[in-house]
């Protein structure tokens, strides 16, 4: 009789030992690959291993100003399409070049832009997007990217609601961009949205202003004892806002000439 028959329960089968060793080698190899990747990317090996175990793949975690700048260019392109399709005909101001802007400043500006987007939605009778607040944390490029991406989503909802089929050409990813450049793009977006938030000018507004202008010219002519021909010249064909703007420019040149002749600065 074999007295050791019951002792076989403590002996690990050879096949199981091989499989266990192979699994351990695979795990070590994977960890070595992760740490090597961390060295290449400049991150710590501990963070790389933690991400590997948790499965973190959030693209905003490694966002750079280049990524945010590209998203802000797409945002500007979407706003310009909305302005053209919805008939905004104002002359928006252009933001000045910015310096020393931190991600916190850019994030705050993005909230301003979002508030104007929500006002446009309210004006169009759409569900209004929620304007967030600055979180109590260190703001990074990833946070700004999320905010700008949210603005993009809301702008595209407006296009869908208004059945605007025009698509933008996505901006390329370019190197060397800064948070100050992103801030300028957001400031430009804020100015562009003003024409959609408020009531655009219409021909009645322009006509009223020209009446005031003619009244003032009549007073000036009376003071200078200069004759004024109050009969309007004939207008042929349909005129566009561009035609009117050209006439305004011509009148402004004549006004400057008059000021010069009167010895005014």
* Domain co-membership, 69 together with 125: yes
Residue-wise pLDDT for 146-190, tens only, equals 999 999 999 999 999 999 999 999 999 999 999 999 999 999 999
- pLDDT at position 57 is 56
**Residue 34 DSSP class:** H
Residue-wise pLDDT for 210-236, tens only, equals 877 888 888 888 888 888 777 777 888
* Domain co-membership, 151 together with 51: no
Q: What is the mean pLDDT of each run of 10 residues along the chain (265 residues)?
A: 47 51 47 46 49 53 93 98 91 90 94 95 92 89 96 96 94 96 97 84 74 81 82 81 80 80 76
- pLDDT at position 219 is 84
Domain membership flag for residue 130: yes
* Domain co-membership, 158 together with 216: no
* Domain co-membership, 220 together with 179: no
Domain that holds residue 255: 203-229+240-261
* Domain co-membership, 172 together with 143: yes
- pLDDT at position 246 is 81
Cβ partners under 8 Å of residue 52, min gap 6: 30, 31, 34
- pLDDT at position 208 is 75
Instruction: State the Rg of the chain over Cα.
Output: 33
How many CB atoms neighbour CB 35 within 10 A? Answer: 16
Q: How many domains does the chain have?
A: 3
- pLDDT at position 176 is 96
Q: What percent of the residues of the chain are helix, what percent strand, and what percent coil, each to the nearest 5?
A: 65, 0, 35
- Spatial separation of the C-alpha atoms in residues 81 and 200, rounded to whole Å: 16
* Domain co-membership, 178 together with 103: yes
Task: Identify whether the C-beta of residue 75 lies closer than 8 Å to the C-beta of residue 148.
Answer: yes
- Spatial separation of the C-alpha atoms in residues 221 and 198, rounded to whole Å: 36
**Residue 186 DSSP class:** H
* Domain co-membership, 31 together with 92: no
* Domain co-membership, 158 together with 225: no
> Would the pTM of this model clear 0.75, i.e. be above it?
no
* Domain co-membership, 120 together with 139: yes
* Domain co-membership, 179 together with 220: no
């Amino acid at each position: 009789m074999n007295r050791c028959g019951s002792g076989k329960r403590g002996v690990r089968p050879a096949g199981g030992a091989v499989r266990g060793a192979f699994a351990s080698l695979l795990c070590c190899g994977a960890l070595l690959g992760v740490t090597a990747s961390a060295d290449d990317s400049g991150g710590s090996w501990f963070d790389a291993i933690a991400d590997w175990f948790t499965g973190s793949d959030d693209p905003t975690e490694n966002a750079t100003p280049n990524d945010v700048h590209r998203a802000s260019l797409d945002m500007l392109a979407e706003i310009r399409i909305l302005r053209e399709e919805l008939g905004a005909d104002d002359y928006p101001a252009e933001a000045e070049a910015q310096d020393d802007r931190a991600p916190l400043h850019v994030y705050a500006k993005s909230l301003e832009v979002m508030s104007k987007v929500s006002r446009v939605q309210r004006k169009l009778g759409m569900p209004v997007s929620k304007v967030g607040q600055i979180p109590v944390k260190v703001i990074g490029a990833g946070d700004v990217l999320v905010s700008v991406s949210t603005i993009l989503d809301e702008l595209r909802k407006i296009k869908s609601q208004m059945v605007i089929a025009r698509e933008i050409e996505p901006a390329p990813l370019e190197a060397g961009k800064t948070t100050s450049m992103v801030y300028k793009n957001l400031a430009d977006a804020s100015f562009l949205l003003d024409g959609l938030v408020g009531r655009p000018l219409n021909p009645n507004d322009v006509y009223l202003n020209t009446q005031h202008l003619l009244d003032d010219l009549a007073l000036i002519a009376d003071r200078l004892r200069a004759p004024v021909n109050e009969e309007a010249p004939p207008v042929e064909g349909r005129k566009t806002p561009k035609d009117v703007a050209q006439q305004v420019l011509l009148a402004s040149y004549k006004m400057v000439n008059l000021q010069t002749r009167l010895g005014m600065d």
